[in-house]
Amino acid sequence: MAGGLGVINPALFTGSCPAVPSPAALPAPVLSLLIPAYNEATRLRTTLGQVLAYLHAQPYPSEVIVMDDGSTDDTVAVAQAYFAAHSGRVATRVLGYTPNRGKGYAVRQGLLAARGAVAIFSDADLSTPIEEIPALLTPILAGECDLVFGSRALNHDLIGQHQPLLRELSGRFFNRMVRLATGLPYADTQCGFKAFRLDVCRPIIEGAQLDRFGFDVELLLLAHQAGLRLREQPVRWNDAAGSKVGLLGGLHGFQELWALRQAHRRGHYAGVIARTQAAAQTHSPALSSASHAS
């Protein structure tokens, strides 16, 4: 596991919430839904309420993981209390570490902790409605894709509330730079709604290195170079107030993009790509029926 979980507070684990069923006592999940969170105490109850209501209505077993990225507010306590009262038949966990390491680090550690056949990470603000899960999950369960990621750029009619113009233009510019720097053919690499077939994608998750806003590009580049089956999927999206990505975060994104380009050109990821190709050859193109039985 690349980087480990840093300094972990044992109280961040589900075991500290006696009312929550142990994950081991519930069926193995088909879907692991990961919510990376940094200082999200204010809106997390609403988010978890929508997520659990949706998952309780689905026929497949699932789990929700809140991955706390070194928050300094009550994010952990809010998540633990909500899960203790509302988890039901959905397995739930709260994991975390200190200090803050960045969204990319949080997503990687959460994906590596996931127990599902498929893992989806979703931003805590639910800019992409949770009801869009089938758009990502279905192609993977059908054996058509290994990685499916939401896109705001393929169908603008699906955008309800747009970002402020400057942020939207800067996002388009960043994605243009992504295409120039990496050769990736995708229109939107940064939407916070991505799904991974874990048996095939685990090597790229373990081998990725970028901790902040370049991590999406790194994961997609490694998967693309390994020949995995990727799909950019149009999804509904609405801008949400309280974005954590400021000007400094945007600059870090460009720095990480440049570092990624240099590392890839120097062959830094050759071993990761080879291990991913081997995993793809080892596993059947379709998930086994046992992996996604109701």
Does 1 reside within a domain? no
pLDDT at site 252: 79
**Structural tokens at position 117:** 């056949």
Three-state DSSP class for 138?
helix
Confidence of residue 166 (pLDDT cuts 50, 70, 90): confident
Does 294 reside within a domain? no
Interval 143-156 mean pLDDT: 94
pLDDT at site 24: 60
Three-state DSSP class for 234?
strand
| Residue written as token pair 């994605």 | 175
Phi (first) and psi of residue 47, to 5 degrees: -60, -50
Question: What CATH number corresponds to the domain at position 195?
Answer: 3.90.550.10
Range of the structural domain that residue 197 is part of: 10-283
Q: How far apart are CA 166 and CA 94, in angstroms?
A: 35
Does 291 reside within a domain? no
Does 272 reside within a domain? yes
Q: What total of structural domains would you count in the chain?
A: 1
Q: What percent of the chain has pLDDT over 70?
A: 86
Interval 158-186 mean pLDDT: 88
Helix (H) or strand (E) holding 3, with range, is: none
User: Cis before residue 99, ω within 30 degrees of 0?
Assistant: yes
pLDDT over threshold 90, residue 165: no
Interval 75-81 mean pLDDT: 98
Q: How far apart are CA 275 and CA 252, in angstroms?
A: 28
Q: Which of 118, 108, 186, 103 is nearest to 152 (CA)?
A: 186
Confidence (pTM): 0.86
pLDDT over threshold 90, residue 247: no
pLDDT digits (tens, 9 = 90+) for 108-140: 999 999 999 999 999 999 999 999 999 999 999
Contact 150, 191 (CB under 8 A): yes
Does 254 reside within a domain? yes
pLDDT over threshold 70, residue 13: no
Contact 69, 3 (CB under 8 A): no
113 Cβ partners below 8 Å, 6+ apart? 65, 67, 93, 95
pLDDT over threshold 50, residue 71: yes
**65 strand-pairing partners:** 34, 93
Does 2 reside within a domain? no
pLDDT over threshold 90, residue 207: yes
pLDDT digits (tens, 9 = 90+) for 248-259: 556 777 888 999
Interval 154-164 mean pLDDT: 84
pLDDT at site 208: 97
pLDDT at site 287: 76
In the chain, the amino acid numbered 33 is L
Interval 67-76 mean pLDDT: 98
Does 202 reside within a domain? yes
Does 252 reside within a domain? yes
